[in-house]
Amino acid sequence: MNQIRLVIVDDHPVVRDGLRGMLESQPDFEIVGEASDGSAAVRLAESLVPDIVLMDLRMPVMDGVTALREIKTHNPQVQVLVLTTYDSDADILPAIEAGASGYLLKDSSRGELFAGIRAAARGETVLAPAVAARLVGRMRAPGEEQLSSREVEVLQLVAEGESNSEIASHLHISQATVKSHLVHIFGKLGVSDRTAAVTAALRRGILRLGQ
């Protein structure tokens, strides 16, 4: 039986312990490392070159998507399977675009998780049903999906003339996060710049003058 070598990445020790106990019950799974943030995950992927990295998304030091992108850049043979509680477009799309082999939710059953890991190890794409439904809906109605509440906040501040650094300070987020929100806003509205985004949002009633 071929062993699937795994690294678990999650900032919650209880979650890591639970996953380790669950996964070690399977004879073909071998846990070779654990990390509590994305930066440590990148270092482990480099030194251990596991078959699968189980990656949470929202972590300190370095978030999961950034870590995912770094791992795939330096060790493209390592499969990264996202395991998170978040199923919004703002979480799913960046992870898939960064090269995730799949996207599972933490409410998945043991059987779904085991099957997902084995499928990812074979090079297959693995998506939780809720995630697959979101992606299908996005493909069916391009340019018409709703902006998240945070994206509307960002766009409102753009409309008020704030720069990326001012928006970051206003919302207590990083400038990189502001840029990421803008990329998703542009994609959802089918535009390529800030002015066009504001114009499109006003036209669709997402923003209102004097709001």
Do 34 and 53 share a structural domain?
yes
* Span of 108-122, 142-156, 186-200 with lowest mean pLDDT: 142-156
Residue at which a domain ends, from 116, 139, 162: 139
Which of 82, 151, 144 lies closest to 117 in space, CA to CA? Answer: 82
Alpha-carbon gap, residue 207 to 110, rounded angstroms: 43
Do 172 and 107 share a structural domain?
no
Do 70 and 36 share a structural domain?
yes
Which of 58, 183, 182, 117 lies closest to 67 in space, CA to CA? Answer: 58
Q: Per residue in 64-79, pLDDT tens?
A: 999 999 999 999 999 9
In a domain, 211, yes or no: no
Share of the chain above pLDDT 70, in %: 92
Per-residue confidence at 128, pLDDT binned at 50, 70, 90?
confident
Do 153 and 82 share a structural domain?
no
> In the predicted model, what is the mean pLDDT of residues 69-97?
89
Q: Per residue in 131-160, pLDDT tens?
A: 877 665 655 554 456 888 899 999 999 999
Do 154 and 81 share a structural domain?
no
In a domain, 144, yes or no: no
Q: Does residue 57 register a pLDDT over 80?
A: yes
> In the predicted model, what is the mean pLDDT of residues 50-76?
94
Question: What pLDDT does residue 140 have?
Answer: 52
In a domain, 120, yes or no: yes
Q: Does residue 107 register a pLDDT over 60?
A: yes
Tell whether the torsion through CA atoms of 199, 201, 205 and 207 is positive or negative: negative
Counted domains in the chain: 2
Do 164 and 120 share a structural domain?
no
pTM, to two decimals: 0.66
Do 153 and 96 share a structural domain?
no
Q: Does residue 211 register a pLDDT over 50?
A: no
| CATH at residue 179 | 1.10.10.10
In a domain, 210, yes or no: no
Please tell me whether residue 101 adopts helix, strand or coil conformation: coil
Question: What pLDDT does residue 175 have?
Answer: 87
Do 110 and 52 share a structural domain?
yes
Alpha-carbon gap, residue 55 to 41, rounded angstroms: 8
Domain that holds residue 192: 149-204
Do 131 and 113 share a structural domain?
yes
Higher model confidence: residue 211 or residue 91? 91
Q: Does residue 15 register a pLDDT over 70?
A: yes
Residue at which a domain ends, from 120, 139, 158: 139
Residue at which a domain ends, from 91, 117, 139: 139
Please tell me whether residue 117 adopts helix, strand or coil conformation: helix
| CATH at residue 48 | 3.40.50.2300
Do 111 and 163 share a structural domain?
no
Average pLDDT over the chain reads 89
Question: What pLDDT does residue 2 have?
Answer: 86
